Amino acid sequence: MQTIQVRTTQNVFIHYPLASVGDRILAYLFDRVVIVAFMIAVGTLLYNLGVQGEWVWILILGFPYLFYSVFFEIFMNGQTPGKYLLKIRVIRLNGTPASIGDFVLRWIFALIDFGILGGAIALILVAAGGKGQRLGDIVAGTTVIKLVEQKEITANQVFVTPETEYQPVFVQAIQLSERDIELIQRALEVNRDVGNATPMLAVTEKLKTQLGIQTDLPPVKFLYTLVKDFNHLTSR
């Protein structure tokens, strides 16, 4: 799977799996089907109600068609129904969620991406650009990534039971809950499997503050040690 490496403001490199051209095309086609189905349903209702007036029909049917993508991307955090179905999402190149302004820019330049040569421009740019960006993405500083499903696992499935003679490094680990351990595992898995260190760094800082711990251990080693201490302290 093709990935994109971005550098965050924390000077951390993150690898995101890019949405494939096929996924983006399928999401686009599904969204077109949703729009057509909506227009048929609403048009039939208006006809049966005897609604007349050209401008009324244009407003009621045209506005949803025109603003479909930007509306859903704003209120579905970078997804439309089609993107949700294909598990892809719009994000900024620095790994942060796209803003309303970003979505609006993508929507404006979609007129060029898809309005000229039947979308050929968008297809060529996405396939050849290396960052999965069409013109609207380039202007907005965004791209479209593939969401990676996270596995449901427990602490005992990942972390080895501590040795009998083991001496805990952080006795504060006893204050953690099973839910906290699951969050730590998820953050470590995202860092390991996807290369996204942001959740791991966020969890590390939160736990240091919550438990009153000061340490120079790297985030990965700190979290593994914390879980190992938790397993030891709760197994007594």
62-96 pLDDT, tens per residue? 888 889 999 999 999 999 999 999 999 999 887 77
- Give the closest residue to 35 by CA, choosing from 86, 76, 81, 74: 81
Looking at the structure, tell me whether residues 37 and 80 fall in a common domain: yes
Same structural domain, 170 and 191: yes
CB-based contacts of 118: which residues, under 8 Å, 6+ apart? Answer: none
180-233 residue pLDDT tens: 888 888 778 777 766 667 778 888 888 898 889 988 888 888 888 888 888 888
Q: Which two tokens stand for residue 212?
A: 């009153």
Q: Please tell me whether residues 81 and 42 are part of one structural domain.
A: yes
Last residue of a domain, one of 100, 125, 146: 146
Round to whole Å and give the CA distance between 195 and 15.
5
DSSP 133-184: --HHHHHHTEEEEEPPPPP---HHHHSPPPPTT---S-GGGGG--HHHHHHH
Of the candidates 117, 146, 175, which is a domain's last residue? 146
Number of structural domains found in the chain: 2
Question: For residues 38-70, b (16+ Cβ closer than 10 Å) or e, as one string?
Answer: eeeeeeeebeeeeeeeeeeeeebbeeeeeebbb
Instruction: Note the maximum CA span of the chain.
Output: 83
Whether the full predicted model's pTM is greater than 0.75, yes or no, is: no
- Look at residues 96, 112, 108, 94 and name the one whose alpha carbon lies nearest to residue 13: 94
Evaluate the CA torsion angle 19, 20, 25, 30 in order and state its sign: negative
Whether residue 163 sits in one domain with residue 90: no
pLDDT, tens digit, for every residue of 38-62? 988 988 888 888 887 777 778 888 8
- Same structural domain, 55 and 140: yes
Helix, strand, coil share of the chain (percent; to 5): 60, 10, 30
> Is the CB of residue 113 less than 8 Å from the CB of residue 139?
no
**24/125 same-domain check:** yes
Give residue 51's domain range.
3-146
Residue 155: is its pLDDT beyond 60? no
